[in-house]
A and B are shown apart, each in its own frame.
Chain A
Amino acid sequence: MATIAASAAAPLERQPTDWASPEMQGRIAARYRAERNFRRLGAGALMVAAGFLAFLLFTIVRDGWTGFLRTEARVEVMFDAATLGVDSAALRGPGAQAVLARADYVALMDKAALQLGPASDMLSDAAWLALRDRLVADPTLIGRTETLWVPVRSSIDLLAKGKYDLDAPADSRGVTDREVSDWRWLDSQGRLRTVFNQAFIGNADSTEPELAGIGGAALGSLFTLFVTIAIAFPLGVFSAAWLEEFAPRGRLADIIELSINNLAAVPSIIFGLLGLAFFLNYAGLPRSSPLVGGITLALMIMPVIVIAARVAIQAVPPSIRDAALGIGASPIQVVFQHVVPLALPGIMTGTIIGISRALGETAPLLLIGMRAFVTDTPQGLTAPATVLPMQVFLWSDDVQRGFVEKTSAAIMVLLFILILMNSVAIYLRNRFERRW
């Protein structure tokens, strides 16, 4: 007591801080300056991240939007039975469709292309398909002349879209003088037009950029995701329900929980190794097929669904369970008639996030052979197929210049679907999620 009283009584050794002194003012200013700088640093970091995202989207849209367009050339085609190699008498018979399907459209196209003068070989190698489609749709065209728009070669297409720097020296701009002069000639004749590229949406892969499309890959993605959802959703919901509602506390539940948490963090390519070693080499399932791809991706996203479903099930208040049990429901009825339906918005949100991850995943599918070059739309779950992100990967590897815009355009489609799915997930979360 005495010491405290003594120290309290002792005179202050320090003078009160003089906040107005220039020295203190300087220190305060320095501290506030540091504060402002730190704040700017934080905002700057966010700006860099957001700016990078904007730059990425900008370059992709800049390179890719022209991928949805296609340049076509106008040719007048005389559907000449002799060039086509068909007998006009056979066309009136019952086998007319078969005769039309076998006709020599390539020769007809070559003949028609001559009217393009110097640029006669600048039409796409598959331009004859346009003639076939037209004639099969209307067989009475035989012997008549029709004006048709057919696709041009990729180099002309890119020239028309202004993708080359024509001021650059000829050997470094990636396009020959002849192609440039042919394009100028075609353009001056008014024979070119740019239209929406239906082939890009509908076709499968091709070696020619002007004919390649994402239709096959999109269908492959759909098949693969169908398998993924059919496996991962029930498995995920069931294991979440078991772990939350039925699992006896013990070693089994611990091991399952540990497995799920670890699987959620395993690199995706490891699942590809599993798919290759087990599903392909051991079980002998068909390579490159949506079936194997779907199973592999299902195993990959199952932990995501389980974790989300468990959180959603935990959020359902115990009073709901008690009330249902109290009026005589069995534990299974409580779970499947009350708890899971109430947790469904949360489960759906987690499932959509898992599916969008599966949709964008490429690495495990590379290992199970889904980098196949498939020129036809996939025929079924066991037929070779490719998926959208794999199509992006395959095209990005292609040396032909025309594939750059196709790759970017395919990325635009992929990102659009992903953003759409995530918006649905956010909407579901906001619309249906209840706070108890």
Chain B
Amino acid sequence: MTLLIALLLVIGLAGFAYLAARARAGKMIVAAAGRFGAVHSRPVYHGAYVAVLALAPALIVLAGWSLVGERWIEQQVVGALPAADQPVDKLDRAALMNEVRGLVAGDLPQAFNPVAPKLAPVYAAAVANGDLLAGALAVALLCGGGLWGYGRIRPDFRARTAVESQVQAVLLLASVVAILTTFGIVLSLIFESIRFFGMVSPVEFLTGLQWSPQTALRADQVGSTGSFGAVPLFWGTIFIGAIIAMLVAIPLGLLSAIYLTQYAAPSLRRWLKPVLELLAGVPTVVYGFFAALTVAPLVRQLAVAIGMSDASSDSALAAGLVMGIMIIPFVSSMADDSLTAVPRAMRDGSLAMGATMSETVKKVMVPAALPGIVGGVLLAVSRAIGETMIVVMAAGLAANLTANPFSSVTTVTTQIVALLTGDQEFDSAKTLSAFALGLVLFCMTLVLNIYALAVVKRYREAYE
């Protein structure tokens, strides 16, 4: 609450600084009797300059506090307990803090933990003090910055230039967010993976054939160590995403693209292309629901009909088929682009020699467009192996190393979701393994993407 008031106060004061600086610059123009060029910048720029100087540091302080404040408060609260009563476990600590917060907010009529009621006033005081401190610091910085900027207002002060370099800095910062995100992803994956590889050797992870990540509650239970050989997951991912899905998507996508670019009348093309794009716009959770509820039973019936009585109801085939359908628009639009980029003279030359359209397509167009098509297929593969919802909903959890499309396999993304949802303690090998799987997935898609983009780019240059 204090923080919200501080935020409103800061914004209000900055607004006031803007008005005051603008008024002062306006007076300078009046004093110069409106002589052109007497005052370098228009009053709004003086106002904006002062307002930015005032607002930026204050907002940084408030944002920083709201990010790290909760941790500081938690330390204060837990630190108020005698050392013997302090929760050792991270989870216990979080549970205790939740109770304390609930008590203070009044959501919780009664606490389970006997120390929680004692801590409630400590928490309330820490929040109030911290918010007050942060708010006061923000207001002080605001006043300092504002006054300094206000003092710099002179007729020859180049406020517009200053404001514009501030704006440029903001634009640069916005662009840097992309780098920060990439770094954030790489760092968080690598950091957690290193912790995981401290418990499980990378060699076992990358080459082991046994995947059963359940770690036991008691140390003496059978299989308490769990085993983290991820090869069955990699196989399942490739089997569903790169084999079954591509067997569906490549022929259908390529033939659709050929028909759309070479045969379809322009009016038909105008209607059919959005239909294909609609296929790409359907949320993956809808495909997953459809795969699990409609396609999987059909596939199972088929398997039983051809004499496989033990067919799985979450078969690789069902997930792969639906994923293939989902990928069709990607393959088709990449192939479409590549086919249109083939110089018209090549097509016309082949047709003029008396080849039929299908002969031209098969012997001239597709070979010429092949690098672009291959690049598109690789991008589609990278998309398919990173796809999550279809396999979470339609593929199984059993890590089988099998090439039978009617049996159940599991994938990297399915396991990441299974490992990280539900009750979890954050430091176990089980949860950390999800980050190692994420790292492998990230590297696989990155390599595929870079290679595919390079292929496509080289091909485009060849015809330009």
Contacts and interface: CB of A to CB of B under 8 A. Distances in A.
Contact of B71 (A261, A271, A284, A418): A284
Contact of A356 (B175, B276, B281, B358): B281
Contact of B420 (A39, A260, A276, A303): A276
A415 B386 CA distance: 23
- A38, A238, A281: most-surrounded residue (chain B CB, <10 A): A38
A267 B179 contact: no
B167 A277 contact: no
Contacts of B10: none
Contact of B289 (A39, A242, A407): A407
Contact of B359 (A31, A56, A277, A415): A31
A169 B213 CA distance: 42
Contact of A332 (B167, B176, B256, B279): B167
Contacts of B289: 392-393, 396, 407-408, 411
Contacts of A42: 255-256, 258-259, 262-263
B417 A367 contact: yes
Interface stretch (B185-193, B197-205, B221-229): B185-193
B428 interface: no
B146 interface: no
Interface string B328-346: 1000100000000000000
Contacts of A148: none
Nearest to A257: B178
Nearest to B437: A273
A41 to B, nearest CB: 6
Contacts of B389: 362-363, 393
A414 interface: yes
Contact of A273 (B168, B188, B254): B188
Nearest to A46: B256
A361 B283 contact: yes
Contact of A239 (B167, B174, B252): B174
A274 B416 contact: no
Contacts of B286: 56, 60, 360, 392, 411, 414-415
A89 interface: no
Interface stretch (A47-55, A112-120, A156-164, A188-196): A47-55
Given A53-B275, A363-B413, A302 B182 contact: no
Interface in B219-270: 251-256, 258-260, 262-263
A383 B38 CA distance: 55
Task: Indicate the size class of the contact surface on chain A.
Answer: 35 or more
A422 B284 contact: no
Contact of A367 (B174, B175, B260, B416): B416
A42 B335 CA distance: 13
A277 B332 CA distance: 36
Nearest to A411: B286
Contacts of B386: 266-270
A420 to B, nearest CB: 12
Given A42-B258, A48-B252, A392-B289, A266 B445 contact: yes
A1 B191 CA distance: 78
Interface stretch (B27-35, B126-134, B290-298): B290-298
A277 B256 contact: no
A396 B170 CA distance: 44
Given A265-B382, A273-B438, A363 B181 contact: no
17 contacts: A31-B359, A39-B357, A49-B279, A49-B328, A49-B332, A238-B170, A238-B171, A239-B174, A242-B174, A259-B178, A265-B379, A284-B70, A332-B164, A359-B283, A360-B282, A389-B285, A415-B283
Q: Report, nearest first, the 4 A-B pairs whose CB atoms are least far apart.
A: A267-B386, A42-B259, A360-B283, A238-B174
Given A246-B172, A360-B285, 13 more contacts: A39-B358, A45-B255, A50-B276, A235-B177, A259-B179, A263-B182, A273-B189, A277-B191, A360-B283, A366-B392, A396-B288, A414-B283, A415-B283
Interface of B: 67-68, 70-71, 160, 164, 167-168, 170-172, 174-179, 181-182, 184-185, 188-189, 191-192, 251-256, 258-260, 262-263, 272, 274-276, 278-279, 281-290, 292-294, 325, 328, 332, 356-359, 361-362, 379, 382-383, 385-389, 392-393, 413, 416-417, 420-421, 426, 434-435, 438, 441-442, 445-446, 449-450, 453
